[in-house]
Structure 1
Amino acid sequence: MKIIVSGRGYPEKRNIIVNEKHTYLDFKYKNIWLYLNKIRNKATKANKTFVFYPVSFLMPDDAQVIHLFNEVACTDKRWVSTFETELPRVLPVPGVPKLANPALRKQLRLIAAPQCVAIVAISEATRQIQLRLLNAFPEEAPLIISKLHKLHPPQPVLYQGQRPEQESRLIFTFAGNEFYRKGGAEVVLAFSELASEGIVSARDVQVNIVGDLRNRYNFAHGRYQDEDYFYQHIETLIRGNALFSHTASLPNHALIDLFKRTHAGLLPTWQDTYGFSVLEMQACGCPVISTNVRALPEINPSEAGWMIECPLNDMFELTINSAEDKASLRRFIVSQLKSTIQDILANREALLSRSKAALTRIQQVHDPVRFKEQLNAIYALA
């Protein structure tokens, strides 16, 4: 089968370009909106439009379907789109209420049209957010809901080995290029406090931190970003404590090798649409401590990991409306991390049972063979 895609980035590789039996034709640079977006942004600073509008005479006749990520298509060709929050993706316009944005209704009509055969939410949280959006558009909703599917990304098992039960030193790993958004600071604060309280030391705990400390902007914090002294404090703690081993980045194969040696992963994230690193850790038999934003409760259930239950808004995300909100949530996340880490240190059997359960859920829920079958069934609708 020949499938047209609109890029070969990480989302496409994780959710679309997954079947070696198919041929994927990259039309990223044959999308008229790629160039229109650049012209409009330069001329008027207009928002980016997430529409795939291919040059018609370049479209091969033998391509069976177009499969996009976070985009809608304006074409006579049959198309499918996988999405992580809402579809269509329409950026906010100052002074215009979200539901009154004419671009939103215009693009919803593209989804309601017969050329769109399916839209695929990557999680139940995403599906619920989409349904909430459609409630505001009763004319288009019935046509679109009939096309709405849910399909969690595939993940192969990466390691079947078991961590030694009597190993004295436990290894924890945090991995996130956007260090502060993913909760890296809270990891450092939690372990530093436990060390100061004499509960952990470099003799019994190693904390690997993979993340770029220069990535300071935290999308979840909005107007209430941290001050320079906070970032400097976190960096001082990392440098000054033998618990921590920090590297700015690792190639994926090296990161997977690190997960295979890790007893428990760390993702106390402030904002995530999915949490792909959780899948990779679980696929290495490494259970994860995470927050409960967006899809994380679905992919990190209590039998396979540990959940920090934060208060969420109707988008399944954290709400930060003040510096006090941020400080209160940070204190809560740090305290929950500390409590969970202590439980892990005290109960190695629970750690091992979660390791096994993490592998089992990867095999059962994210099996690549089953994912291909489900995706092919969606393509058959075209």
Structure 2
Amino acid sequence: MNKIDERIEGFTIFPPTMRRYDLVHAFNRIPVGRAPYLIGFESHLPRAFSLESTAYFKALTKSLAGKRCRGVVAISRYSERIFRKTHADSAMAEELYEKLEMRYPNIEIPAVEDQAPDLNGPLQLVFVGHHFARKGGCVAVRLAELAQEAGVDMRITIVSGLAMGGAIWTDPAREEYYETWADRLEGSNITHHPSLPNDQVQTLLRGAHFCLLPTFGDTFGYSAIEAMANHCPMIATRQGALPEFIEDDSNGILLDLPVDGDGDWIHSSSPDRDTPGFERMFTDEIERLAETALTRVVDYLNNPARYRALRIEARRTVETTFAATDANEFWDRRYEEAVG
């Protein structure tokens, strides 16, 4: 429905089918129909941004509280916290909270040994993200420049379709702001791919010293799990759900970002995104994050034992928190409960 209006993405309509389903497992969007459902979500539920006082929002909430909904599953403590805050004053809060639980997402963990790239060669960093500015691509570019200026042998591979600005809620809105950033992708220590097949991205991650996600706005950061599953520690910002599984100086590097009580960047969805003042602030944040990242990376360059420990702990975190085997057992049991 968000193809009609991006504000009404809170529900989904499935194509007509003769088949009857015992249960629908939905994600983010409430399924229309008669079948009972479980629903997972990454941030807000219902997804009806700026429509919280409308009859539309109330109708979606009523569906969540009703008999068709057999469970509301937050994929992080971050999303669970937002759900509780959203419905704290609702007349249906008791029914909603009774259905609420938290379960992290899962992946098939690749059976790969740690390639342990040499710290004596060029430092290899990887950034993956279609929303270039929001996910920290500008930070990656500036980090490459600072490393070159400091004489640090660093190569950064960027995989991005370079979507930025406009309606993206964290970004400076004006297209003109990004003209120089696009040009700077031509730096001698930067390789840019508009896109790559997933298997090639996995190969990049296995050979990288760090994966970059210095994001200004991510609910979870699935790419972080993929990187860590390949023994590659993250450089990420302390926002959204990322601090729940990335621990600074244990399995990765966390860069501080000013956030609100929910864990979101304080400048997200700012009404000033099209102003020079917002652009200056955004540029200053890019500079600060890039400078901090370079300092932290060089520290590990000078301490190989600490760096190796990061890689070991990154992989262990994924094995203990996001393994598909444990998740399959959980969901099999949960589905039986939902239809029983």
Give the TM interval when normalised to the shorter protein: 0.7 to 0.9
Alpha-carbon distance change, 167 to 328 in structure 1, aligned in 2, over 3 angstroms: closer
How far apart are the structure 2 equivalents of 1:361 and 1:193?
A: 31
| 1:112-142 CA-partner distances (Å, limit 9, x unpaired) | 11221101111110000001011021x2111
Residue identity matched to 1:210: V
| Corresponding residue SS for 1:107 | helix
Distance, in Å, in 2 between the alignment partners of 1:178 and 1:46 is 17
Gaps of 5+ in 1: 1-33
Alpha-carbon distance in 1 for matches of 2:134, 2:167: 5
Alignment of 1:69-84 (within 5 A): 69-84=27-42
Deviation at 1:218, TM superposition (A): 7.0
Please give the alpha-carbon distance, in whole angstroms, between the structure 2 residues aligned to 1:226 and 1:318.
20
The equivalent of 2:107 in structure 1 is 155
Counterpart of 1:221, as a letter, is T
Equivalent position of 2:275 in the other structure: none
SS in 2 for 1:208: strand
Equivalence for 1:234: 181
In 2, the alpha carbon distance for the partners of 1:213 and 1:134 equals 36
The answer for the alignment partner of 1:102 in structure 2 is 55
**Corresponding residue of 2:259:** 312
Residue 296 of structure 1 pairs with residue 242 of structure 2:
yes
Q: Secondary structure at the match of 1:376?
A: helix
What per-residue deviation string (whole Å, max 9, x for no partner) do you get for residues 228-269 of structure 1? 2x4232233331x32111111101011101111111111111
Per the alignment, residue 10 of structure 1 pairs with none
SS in 1 for 2:204: helix
Aligned partner of 1:131 in structure 2 is 84
SS at match of 2:39: strand
**1:177 Cα offset (Å):** 1.6
> Which one-letter code corresponds to 2:29 in the other structure?
E
Contact between 2:117 and 2:208, CA under 8 Å: does it hold in 1?
no
- Aligned pairs for 1:34-53 (under 5 A) are 41=4, 47-52=7-12
The question of 1:275 aligning with 2:212 is answered no
Task: Tell me if the contact between 2:138 and 2:286 (Cα under 8 Å) persists in the aligned partners.
Answer: no
Please give the root-mean-square deviation of Cα atoms over the aligned residues, in Å: 2.3
1:195 is paired with a residue whose SS is helix
Q: Decide which of 58, 76, 80 is 2:18's aligned counterpart.
A: 58
Aligned length: 327
Q: Radius of gyration: which is bigger?
A: 1
What is residue 312 of structure 2 aligned with on the other side? Answer: 356
Q: Distance in 2 between matches of 1:53 and 1:145?
A: 25
Q: Is the 8 A contact 1:165 1:348 kept in 2?
A: no
Does the Cα contact within 8 Å between 1:264 and 1:289 map onto a contact in 2?
A: yes
Q: How many Å separate the matches in 1 of 2:27 and 2:79?
A: 13
* Offset at residue 193 of structure 1 (A): 2.0
Q: How does 1:247-262 map to 2 (within 5 A)?
A: 247-262=193-208
Q: 1:167 to 1:335 in 2, by over 3 A?
A: closer
- 1:286 matched to which residue of 2? 232
In structure 2, the CA distance between the partners of 1:189 and 1:89, relative to structure 1 (3 Å rule), is: same
User: What fraction of aligned residue pairs are identical, expressed as a percent?
Assistant: 22
Q: Name the TM-score, length of structure 2 as normaliser.
A: 0.88
Which segment is superposed worse, 252-261 or 341-350? Answer: 341-350
* Matched residue SS, 1:91: coil
Q: What is the rounded CA distance, in whole Å, between the counterparts of 1:106 and 1:334 in structure 2?
A: 45
Q: Could you state the TM-score of these two structures normalised by the residue count of structure 1?
A: 0.79
4+ aligned runs moved over 6 Å, structure 1: none
Residue 199 of structure 1 aligns with which residue?
151
Compute the displacement of 1:346 (Å): 2.0
Residues 137-193 of structure 1 show CA distances to partners (whole Å, capped at 9, x for unaligned) of 1x2111111111111111233222241555422211111122111111111112202
1:145 aligns with 2:93: no
User: How far apart, in 2, do the equivalents of 1:348 and 1:358 lie?
Assistant: 15
- Following superposition, the deviation at residue 54 of structure 1 comes to 5.6
Aligned residue number for residue 209 of structure 2 = 263
